[in-house]
Structure 1
Amino acid sequence: MMIDRYSIALFLVFSFLVGALDASAGDADPLYRACVAECEKTGCVGGRCFPQCKFPSDIVANDSPWYMQEPLYLKWKQWDCQSDCRYNCMVDREKEREAVGNGPVKYHGKWPFKRVVGIQELASVAFSALNLAMHFHGWLTFSILLYYNLPLRQGKKLCYEFASLWNIYGLLAMNSWLWSAVFHSRDVDLTEKLDYSSAVALLGYSLILAILRCFNVRVEAARVMVAAPFLAFVTTHILYLNFYTFDYGWNMKVCVVMGVAQLLIWAIWAGVTRHPSRWKCWVVVIGGGLAMLLEIYDFPPYQGFFDAHAIWHATTIPLTYLWWSFIKDDAKFRTSILLRKAD
C-alpha cells in the first residue's frame, strides 16, 4: 500500500528527536565496552570462542588457500569477529542487567534481538516476507482480473487506464519488501543502502501514482509532464545517498514530505469522491496512521523477537490485502464507466 514505507520515515524523525538520549545506552556501558575489547583481542567471550576472529578479512588475502580464508557463509552474512563479539557481549550484559532487575537497553541504536540461524531480527524478516507475499498475491490477482475477467477495448487494449501504473507499483512494492527482509536479516552497508533506496523509489513513485489517479490524469503527455520532475528528483536523491553521502537527516525529510503528501492526497480524494470502495481507502489511510503509534511507542522486543517495529510490519499485512482489493475494485469501477460511455 502507499503508506507502507513512509511511516518508517516518520518514525525515524521521532527517533532523531528523542532517540539520541537512549539509543546508545548499551554500547556506552563500560562493562560492555571492556567485554568487546577483550573479545577482539582473544576471540572469546565467557568461554565461547569464535573461529572467524582468527581470519580477519583485512589480513587474509583473497588469493590465499581456501582453508585460510573466512568461511563462505560468514562472508555472505558478514558475521565477522567484531559482530560476533558485540552480539555475545550484548547477550551476556543483558543477562547481568536482568539479574539485578534492569530492563533492556539499545546497543549501537538497536534493541537486543536474539539471533536465529544468523538472522538478526527474525520477526521483522518474517513479517517483511509476508508483506512481500501479500503484494505478490495482490499484484497477481490484479493482473488476472485485467487480462482474463475484464472486457477489452478494440485492439485488445485494457479498459482500465491506470493498469500499467499499478503494475509498476506492484513490482516496486515487492522489491521494497524484499530488501526490507534482507536488511532486517543483516544490516550491513550494502543491505542498508538497498533497503533505503528501494523505499525511496517506492515512495516517490507512489506519490506520482497518487497524483495521477486522484486527479484522473489520463493523457500520456500530461502524465509525463507530472512524473518527470518527481522522477528526476527521486533518482538524484538515490544517487546522492549511494554515491555521495548517506545523509540520514536529509533522507528523513525527503521521505516524510513525499509520504505525507500522498497520504493527504488520498485522504482528500476519499473524502470528495463517490467511488463505491472509498471506504477501503479510508481504512488503509486511518489504519496506517494508527499503526504509527506502535513505531512511536518503540518498546523492546518481547522474548527477543517482537518489538514495536516488527508488530508494525505485521499490521501492514491486512492493510496491504485491503489496498489491493481497493485497486481491483477501482479497475472494475473505471471499466464499467468506460463501457457505459461506449454504449
Structure 2
Amino acid sequence: MVDRYWTAFFVVFAYLVGVLDASAGDADPLYRACVEQCEKTGCVGEKCFPHCKFSSDGASLDGPWYMQEPLYLRWKQWDCQSDCCYHCMLDREQEKAALGHGPVKYHGKWPFKRVYGIQEPVSVALSALHLAMHFHGWLSFFILLYYKLPRKPDKKLYYDYTGLWHIYGLLSMNSCFWSAVFHSRDVDLTEKLDYSSAVALLGYSLILAILRSFDVRDEAARVMVAAPLIAFITTHILYLNNYKLDYGWNMKVCVVIGVAQLLIWAIWAGVTRHPSRWKLWVVVVGGGLAMLLEIYDFPPYQGFVDAHAFWDATTIPLTYILWSFIKDDAEFRTCNLLKKVK
C-alpha cells in the first residue's frame, strides 16, 4: 500500500513539474485539444495535411510524408505533429487577439508566421545580410593587408594580429550561417549548432580583445592567455550540447563575456588614444544597446519581427564600422612600425 502511495505521489509531482515548465501557450487546454484532434484527423478547421494520413498500424497511406509535398518544400521536413502544433497555435492566437489578449509562448518559443516553410523569415534575411557584411569586411581587410600595405624585407606583414582577425572573420561568418539555418528551421540540431557557434565567437572575441589591448605578441604568452578561456568555452559548449541546453545559464555566460570585452575595448581605445577610437566606441555603445535587445525578449510584431530580429538589424551597421576600425588599426600599426624601422 505504501508503494502505491509513493507511486501516486511521484506521478502527480512529475505532472505538476511538467505543467510548471510548460509555456503558457502549450499549457492551454484548447490548444492541446486542437493538437490531439489534428493528429487524429489530419485537419485544423478546414486545413488538412496530406502527411497526417495514417493507417490503423500507424504507417502512412501514401508513403513517407516528405514525399507527399512539392519538391521545393521537402527540405523543411515539417511532420504531422509540427504542422498540427503550428496551425493550432495560429488559430489560438487569432482567437485570443480577437478577445484583446497578447501573444504567448508555445513550447518555449514565440508564435512566428512561416513564409515558404521558413520559421522566422526576417531573422533569416538579416542573418544573411550580417554574414554578407562580415564577408565584405574580411575581404577588404585581406586586400588591404596583402595588396596595399608594405611588407617586411622577408615578405612578412608588419601587422602582428592578422591571423587573429582572419580567425575572427571566419568564426563570425560561421555564426551568421548557423543563425540563418536555425531561424529557418528550429530543430534540436540547428539550435545547438547556432548556440555553440555563437558562444565560440563570443569567447574568441574576448581572447582577441585581451591580446590586442595588452599588445600580446609573444606566442607563448598568447597561449597562456587563451588556454584557460578556451577550456572554459569548450566546457560550456559541451555542457550545452551533451548535458542540458540551459538558456538562462547560457545567457548569463554570454552577457558576462560580452560586457567584459566591450569594457576592455572601450578602456583601451581611450587610454591609447587610438586615432580611430571613435569607431570602436560606437561599436561598444551600439553593441551594449544591442545586447539589451537580446535580454529584453518581446513577442514578434505581426508574427515576424522580434527582439532578435532587431538585434540582427543593429549589428549589420556595427559590423561595417568594426571592420573599418580593424583596417584603420592595421594601417596605423604598420605606419608606426615603419617609422621605427627608418
Q: TM-score range by the shorter chain?
A: 0.7 to 0.9
Residues in 2 aligned to 1:236 and 1:298: alpha-carbon distance in whole angstroms: 27
* Alignment correspondent of 1:11: none
Matched letter for residue 39 of structure 1: C
* Alignment correspondent of 1:328: 327
Secondary structure, in 3 states, of the residue corresponding to 1:245? coil
Unaligned runs of 5+ in 1: 1-19
| Per-residue deviation, 1:75 | 6.4
* Alignment correspondent of 2:219: 220
Task: Give the 3 Å change call, closer, same or farther, for CA 60–221 of structure 1 in structure 2.
Answer: farther
* Alignment correspondent of 2:63: 68
Matched letter for residue 187 of structure 1: D
Matched letter for residue 190 of structure 2: T
Matched letter for residue 326 of structure 1: F
Residues in 1 aligned to 2:324 and 2:20: alpha-carbon distance in whole angstroms: 42
Equivalent residues in 2 for 1:230-241, closer than 5 Å = 230-241=229-240
RMSD: 2.4
* Alignment correspondent of 2:93: 94
* Alignment correspondent of 1:9: none
* Alignment correspondent of 1:182: 181
Residues in 2 aligned to 1:328 and 1:226: alpha-carbon distance in whole angstroms: 24
| Conserved? CA contact 2:25–2:106, under 8 Å | yes
Q: Percent identity?
A: 78
| Conserved? CA contact 1:22–1:106, under 8 Å | no
1:195 matched to 2:190? The reply is: no
Equivalent residues in 2 for 1:113-262, closer than 5 Å = 113-262=112-261
| Per-residue deviation, 1:219 | 1.1
The two structures have a TM-score, normalised by structure 1, of 0.86
| Conserved? CA contact 2:119–2:184, under 8 Å | yes
* Alignment correspondent of 2:6: none
1:107 matched to 2:106? The reply is: yes
| Conserved? CA contact 1:23–1:110, under 8 Å | no
Matched letter for residue 36 of structure 1: V
Matched letter for residue 259 of structure 2: V
Bigger Rg over Cα = 2
Equivalent residues in 2 for 1:4-83, closer than 5 Å = 24-54=23-53, 68-71=63-66, 76-83=75-82
| Conserved? CA contact 1:55–1:70, under 8 Å | no
| Conserved? CA contact 2:121–2:304, under 8 Å | yes
Secondary structure, in 3 states, of the residue corresponding to 2:65? coil
| Per-residue deviation, 1:60 | 5.4
Task: Give the 3 Å change call, closer, same or farther, for CA 106–248 of structure 1 in structure 2.
Answer: closer
Unaligned runs of 5+ in 2: 1-18
The one-character-per-residue Cα deviations of 1:138-182 (angstroms, maximum 9, x if unpaired) are 000000000001001111101110011000000000000100111
| Conserved? CA contact 1:111–1:300, under 8 Å | yes
Residues in 2 aligned to 1:227 and 1:60: alpha-carbon distance in whole angstroms: 53
Task: Give the 3 Å change call, closer, same or farther, for CA 276–23 of structure 1 in structure 2.
Answer: farther
The one-character-per-residue Cα deviations of 1:174-233 (angstroms, maximum 9, x if unpaired) are 000100111111110000110011011101111110000000001112111211222222
Matched letter for residue 284 of structure 2: V
| Per-residue deviation, 1:289 | 1.5
Residues in 2 aligned to 1:38 and 1:160: alpha-carbon distance in whole angstroms: 65
| Conserved? CA contact 1:214–1:269, under 8 Å | yes
Task: Give the 3 Å change call, closer, same or farther, for CA 21–290 of structure 1 in structure 2.
Answer: farther
Matched letter for residue 203 of structure 1: L
Residues in 2 aligned to 1:109 and 1:34: alpha-carbon distance in whole angstroms: 19
| Per-residue deviation, 1:59 | 5.8
Task: Give the 3 Å change call, closer, same or farther, for CA 201–240 of structure 1 in structure 2.
Answer: same
The one-character-per-residue Cα deviations of 1:5-53 (angstroms, maximum 9, x if unpaired) are xxxxxxxxxxxxxxx9998222222211111111112111002111222
| Conserved? CA contact 1:125–1:180, under 8 Å | yes
The one-character-per-residue Cα deviations of 1:63-93 (angstroms, maximum 9, x if unpaired) are xx9x622326676423111110111011111
* Alignment correspondent of 2:4: none
Residues in 2 aligned to 1:21 and 1:277: alpha-carbon distance in whole angstroms: 51
The two structures have a TM-score, normalised by structure 2, of 0.87
The one-character-per-residue Cα deviations of 1:209-262 (angstroms, maximum 9, x if unpaired) are 000000000111211121122222222322232233333344333323322221
Range 188-197 or range 33-42, more displaced: 33-42
4+ residue runs over 6 A deviation: 20-23
| Conserved? CA contact 2:66–2:77, under 8 Å | no
Matched letter for residue 264 of structure 1: L
Residues in 2 aligned to 1:255 and 1:281: alpha-carbon distance in whole angstroms: 20
Residues in 2 aligned to 1:242 and 1:21: alpha-carbon distance in whole angstroms: 24
Residues in 1 aligned to 2:189 and 2:166: alpha-carbon distance in whole angstroms: 27
Task: Give the 3 Å change call, closer, same or farther, for CA 220–298 of structure 1 in structure 2.
Answer: same
| Conserved? CA contact 2:294–2:307, under 8 Å | yes
